[in-house]
Amino acid sequence: MEIASPNAATNEEPVLPVSEPTIENEKKEKKENGDGSKYITITWGTGQPIDVIFSFIHKNREEEGYQDALINSDLSYMKAKEEIIRNELKMLFKRISIRYKDNILVLDVQKAKAEAAFISSSVAILQARREIYVEHLAEIEEMEKMLDADDPKMTTMIETYRRGFNKGIAAQTAAFINSENH
């Protein structure tokens, strides 16, 4: 007996070709494909590296959990996978923090050059950009603390994985019960 995916209806190909969101300010663009069909590109976010973290946190892993449960329904496997997801996020925090710190150093050098050349408008722009980077670094540090405290805002990817895993176990059990009745 084949076990159907809980999201089978949503796994169909979209009618319109859709591209992944880009990290820009939110806007919609309608474009035309070479074959005359139109597609929509939705862009969102700040355009900064922190968007990658938000994307990771909000990724729906329900289908992944469901498929994993069909292959290996051992709860220790689920717990290990949840820890892997958590560690991936921690590494993402680290990588993005390093990126911001590097960007701040580069900005500081450029700002010093602009100050030496008395280009005050450039100094102001670089200072504003630096403040954004510092703010994002502080946000990442707060997110790390929230993850360590198991704040639900930071664990949606784990919760969706767990929900899918439980659905997979339920589907396996239902398939087993139904096969025993026939």
Write the pLDDT tens digit of every residue in 128-144: 999 999 999 999 999 99
To which H or E segment does residue 62 belong? helix 62-71
Q: Is residue 87 part of a domain?
A: yes
pLDDT of residue 46: 84
pLDDT of residue 45: 79
Q: Is residue 63 part of a domain?
A: yes
Q: Is residue 24 part of a domain?
A: no
Task: Give residue 82's domain range.
Answer: 48-180
pLDDT of residue 15: 36
Judged against a pLDDT cut of 80, whether residue 13 lies above it is answered with no
Q: Is residue 151 part of a domain?
A: yes
Judged against a pLDDT cut of 70, whether residue 124 lies above it is answered with yes
Q: Is residue 169 part of a domain?
A: yes
For β-strands 38-43 and 27-32, DSSP reports them as antiparallel
Q: Is residue 35 part of a domain?
A: no
Q: Is residue 1 part of a domain?
A: no
In which band, very low, low, confident or very high, does the pLDDT at 31 lie, cut at 50, 70 and 90?
A: low
Total domains in the chain come to 1
Q: Which residue has the higher pLDDT, 122 or 23?
A: 122
pLDDT of residue 17: 37
pLDDT of residue 22: 43
pLDDT of residue 153: 95
CA distances from 115 to 106, 131, 163 (A): 14, 17, 55
